[in-house]
């Protein structure tokens, strides 16, 4: 398999962590690619027309995207029911947790594009504030639920951790830990797993 | 179950069409809510902190989001393996097709916010062009694959149709049909299903 990724991408990191946790890393060749919405990478667009990472080419030559599809595919390659529970009750809880982490990341990335890519004269305060509100409410929910996440790693926890580490990386001055002690303690612990430590976001 | 939606939302429409196609519509109470990223709806944020539609409250009182999680949940309530194939080969094809439709919709929505919500003086041409390129390449891929979609409705086809009808609704001057005859013919046919006709996007 071939996995297209970029070193800072929190969505690509979900797939990289999943591959490591599932024992598949040796079967996944990682290929670095540069993507940014204001600079379309049309060569990469021949693989993923959305020009986003991650994208995964299977051994059959079929290109999968986005991160959720890839992570479920990897889970299945490792036998299934590993990072994504098969049992209905737990499955919805974990998939909703993944949607929460992905949604916080989406809002963070839109803030990042606004502040680091868009020309300064074109920034819109209401947009920045609205995306920040999604992050704030999303992390407040994660704080309330973190105590119940248990010790068994799942794709929802991976998505939340990728969101939080990426916020630390891109917005080091934003103190999301304030008022969220359970989430902060949880991240400190999970961040010590080799799969997380080896894939910390970098420029 | 309770489903929060807005009449124009292409993502909420995926869930509304799924409920109709799965014979679950009578079990799903639909509640209209207004959402926009620059005007956070904090009351709705108590249900979905990301303040996006759709959100689904199950009969147990657990709130699910986003559209992918909700559609898979609804599929399971109808017995499973209906709109989302369980068999591995077909499953990845359909989930990737859903990611393609959702990705085109995401890019379209970002164009819509830029052109209809953001103050005119703050618009950024490179952003608009980059999002349009994702739509163009995404629909080019859909055109190449549409002939192989077959007659059995799946969540990938629903996602693609919701993207296309929404583009017609929001960008009636954009002629995405030009050069894409297979996709245009496919949409004309699928659009006649009652589940699609009853849920066409409106303001």
Domain boundaries, chain A: 2-77, 88-197
Question: What are the tens digits of pLDDT across the range A124-176?
Answer: 999 999 999 999 999 999 999 998 898 899 999 999 999 999 999 999 999 99
The pLDDT, as a whole number, for residue B148 is 87
Given a cut of 90, is residue A94 above it in pLDDT? yes
Q: Locate all alpha helices (DSSP H) within A113-154, ordered by sequence.
A: 125-145
CATH architecture label of B88-194: Up-down Bundle (1.20)
Helices and strands counted in chain B (H then E)? 8, 4
Q: Using a CB-CB distance cutoff of 8 angstroms, which residues of chain B are in contact with residue A99?
A: 50, 65-66, 68-69
Predicted confidence band of residue B168 (pLDDT cuts 50, 70, 90): very high
Please report the pLDDT score of residue B150 as a whole number: 82
- Give the Cα separation of A108 and A174 in Å (integer): 11
Q: CA of A101: which chain B residue's CA is closest?
A: B50
Say whether domain A88-197 belongs to CATH 3.30.420.40.
no
Chain mean pLDDT for chain A: 97
Distance, CA of A64 to CA of B44 (rounded, Å): 33
d(CA B141, CA B175): 16
- Check CB contact of B100 with chain A, cutoff 8 Å: yes
Residues of chain A in contact with residue B118, where contact means CB-CB under 8 angstroms, are 124, 127
With left for phi above 0 and alpha for psi between -120 and 50, is residue A13 left, alpha or beta? alpha
What pLDDT does B4 receive? 98
- Per-residue confidence (pLDDT) for residue B18, from 0 to 100: 98
Residue B18, both tokens: 């799924």
Contact B57, B30 (CB under 8 A): no
Residue B101: pLDDT over 90: yes
**Does residue A45 sit at the B interface (CB-CB below 8 Å)?**
yes
A61 CB within 8 Å of a chain B CB = no
Least CB–CB distance from A103: residue in B66, B103, B134: B66
Q: Could you tell me which of B75, B43, A40, B162 has the C-alpha nearest to residue B84?
A: B75
Per residue in B32-69, pLDDT (tens digit) is: 999 999 999 999 999 999 999 999 999 999 999 999 99
Residue B193 confidence class, pLDDT cut points 50, 70, 90: very high
Q: Do B49 and A137 touch (CB under 8 A)?
A: yes
Cis amide leading into A111 (omega within 30): no
**pLDDT greater at residue A4 or residue A88:** A4
Q: Does A131 touch chain B (CB under 8 A)?
A: yes
Query: Would you state the pLDDT for residue A151?
Result: 84
Please report the pLDDT score of residue A21 as a whole number: 98
Q: Check whether B151 has a pLDDT greater than 90.
A: no
Q: What is the pLDDT of residues A35-83, one digit of tens each?
A: 999 999 999 999 999 999 999 999 999 999 999 999 999 999 999 999 9
pLDDT of residue B84: 98
The minimum CA-CA distance between A45 and chain B, rounded to whole Å, is 7
Q: Give the rounded distance of the alpha carbon of B130 from its chain centre.
A: 20
pLDDT digits (tens, 9 = 90+) for A71-93: 999 999 999 999 999 998 899 99
The answer to whether B15 and B195 are in contact (CB under 8 A) is no
Task: For residue B73, give both structure tokens.
Answer: 């949940």
B80 touches chain A (CB under 8 A): no
> What CATH number is given for A2-77 in this structure?
3.40.30.10
Residue with tokens 């982490």: A101
From residue A188, give the alpha-carbon distance in Å to each of A46, A66, A157, B4, B62.
39, 27, 13, 35, 28
Angle at CA of residue B74, ends B72 and B75, nearest 5°? 60
């Amino acid at each position: 398999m071939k996995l297209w990724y970029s070193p800072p991408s929190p969505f690509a990191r979900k797939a990289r962590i999943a591959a490591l946790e599932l024992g598949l890393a040796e079967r996944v060749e990682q290929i670095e690619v540069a993507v940014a919405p204001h600079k379309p990478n049309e060569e990469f667009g021949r693989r993923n027309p959305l020009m986003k990472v991650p994208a995964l080419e299977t051994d059959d030559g079929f290109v999968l995207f986005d991160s959720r599809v890839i992570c479920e595919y990897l889970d299945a390659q490792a036998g299934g029911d590993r990072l994504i529970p098969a049992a209905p009750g737990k499955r919805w809880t974990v998939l909703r947790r993944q949607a929460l982490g992905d949604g916080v990341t989406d809002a963070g990335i839109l803030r990042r594009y606004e502040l680091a890519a868009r020309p300064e004269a074109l920034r819109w305060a209401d947009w920045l504030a609205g995306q920040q509100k999604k992050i704030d409410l999303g992390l407040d929910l994660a704080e309330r639920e973190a105590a119940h996440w248990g010790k068994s790693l799942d794709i929802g926890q991976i998505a939340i951790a990728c969101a939080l580490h990426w916020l630390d990386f891109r917005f080091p001055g934003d103190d999301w830990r304030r008022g969220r002690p359970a989430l902060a303690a949880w991240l400190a612990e999970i961040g010590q797993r080799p799969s997380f430590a080896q894939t910390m976001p970098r420029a």
